Structure 1
């Protein structure tokens, strides 16, 4: 039996983080997804939520609930007055350590949130992708080549962050990696598809941003009225599909989005 190797440290006074790897790769992504699913199935009193990232899982908890439960459970005490000496962080850490003693990883690729590939329609260039030509010039190719490269790959979702529903996608080919803009724009339209360094992603909301914008999708990536507001989750897989401006506008009208 392989023992799970991880580092554990506190984040502020109401969270604890587990580090499961050091690099951005599919094996670490798979392990993060498996461990987070296992922890969610084995919550503790005071558990609030967990957030996954490239190599980490951050677990948020209610300090008062954690401490109260510990002091009320006589069987958790190993010696008299131990509860008075333990901090909530130490109580949570002990629970996590005990919980993960029973963790058994499954073969890589079997723990994702879905094996299907989600297709994201994108209108490239023009008003939808003002930086497409700049990205093409940087790589000394045509804009059509950039579109072909960008739509030819399947991208795993490594994490959601920066803004609600913003997916950080891996798997960008070297021929598309492009530095961020020297000065960020004050307004990036919702749905904008960009390249930032060796990553590609989608802006779910109108925000400032410095990524190279090559297209835009009519899909809403953040839907606060839904029980699960983010369209994408870590572990999902994405493929971009090119569409025409006419298809974009028709889809945007159906979804009730305007001002695009």
Structure 2
């Protein structure tokens, strides 16, 4: 399915509907997801409770007492997404440490990909990432834009828990973790930034569609920033993008 294909409307039980725009990680597909999300918010459709945008689709939770799946589908088909103004994305500059003990799987990734560890770091640092979705666990930040040279399959079996803030790669995707959890991905670095903090006014650091750039720090800076983050600081820098923005991640 290409990014210009007609959307598919897929019932998900009696109280949710998925609108699917494609089958790949593609900025154009994600733009269509976000355009529909913005149009739904503006239209204030009866019965809609929540929308959950993802890489290539959006799930719409609704109250079946107020609207049926068929009626909601008809309403969604009639929405004019092109005329809806979307929030301008932001760019986040996030500190990242790729030195021991924060790069637990870097040497393993280098061996699998046949690249020097420092080249792995250079490639990861040099990319511009897009926040495509949150999922799997609270605050897990799924990113697009990982360089093709860093494409590595998931592990056959999960590894021991990766710490919060781990920078993971696998399956052509990049991820920032928010909590300690076993993983089938590979950890090549870590950030002191809390991408998810229920105690903070801004619970989720980035909005869906925002951009992320990683900036290298050493272990001493990581420790200092970690203490600041525990005290409630964001320790990430936000930039507003120009009105005519473009995202390639």
TM-score band by shorter chain is: 0.7 to 0.9
Partner of 2:12: 11
Where does the alignment leave 5 or more consecutive residues of structure 2 unmatched?
Answer: 232-249
Distance 1:213 1:4 in 2: 35
Q: Deviations over 1:223-243 (max 9, x none)?
A: 223465221232111111111
The residue number in structure 1 matching 2:50 is 49
What is the CA–CA distance in structure 2 between the aligned matches of 1:208 and 1:123, rounded to whole Å?
Answer: 20
Q: How many Å separate the matches in 1 of 2:108 and 2:56?
A: 32
Report what 1:234 is aligned to. 208
Aligned to 1:200: 174
Matched residue, 1:183: 157
Aligned to 2:212, the other structure's residue is in SS state: strand
User: Over alpha carbons, which structure has the higher Rg?
Assistant: 1
Partner of 2:72: 92
**Residue of structure 2 aligned with 1:103, choices 81, 84, 89:** 81
Residues 1:33 and 2:34 aligned together: yes
Secondary structure, counterpart of 1:103 in structure 2: coil
Deviation at 1:188, TM superposition (A): 1.4
Q: How does 1:159-170 map to 2 (within 5 A)?
A: 159-170=133-144
* Partner in structure 2 of residue 141 of structure 1: 115
- Structure number with the bigger relative contact order (C-alpha 8 A, sep ≥ 6) is 2
Give the Cα–Cα distance (whole angstroms) in 1 for the partners of residues 64 and 222 of structure 2.
48
Report the CA distance shift for 1:112/1:173 in structure 2 as closer, same or farther (over 3 A). farther
Report what 1:132 is aligned to: 106
TM-score by length of 2: 0.84
CA RMSD between the two structures? 2.2
Of 192, 217, 220, the match for 2:194 = 220
Q: Which runs of 5+ in 1 are unaligned?
A: 68-87
The alpha-carbon deviation at position 125 of structure 1 amounts to: 3.3
Residue 61 (structure 1) aligns with: 62
C-alpha deviation, 1:112, in angstroms: 6.0
| 8 A Cα contact 1:160 1:233, kept in partner | no
Moved runs in structure 1, 4+ residues, more than 4 A?
Answer: 110-113
Deviation at 1:58, TM superposition (A): 0.8
Partner-residue secondary structure (3-state), 1:178 = coil
Counterparts of 1:97 and 1:141, CA distance in 2: 48
Task: Report the Cα offset of residue 120 of structure 1.
Answer: 1.4
Q: Do the aligned partners of 1:121 and 1:218 also contact (CA within 8 Å) in 2?
A: yes
- Retained in 2: the 8 A contact 1:16–1:58? yes
Whether the aligned pair in 2 keeps the contact of 1:113 and 1:233 (CA below 8 Å) is no
Listed one character per residue, the Cα deviations across residues 25-52 of structure 1 (whole Å, up to 9, x for unaligned) are 1111111111111111112232211001
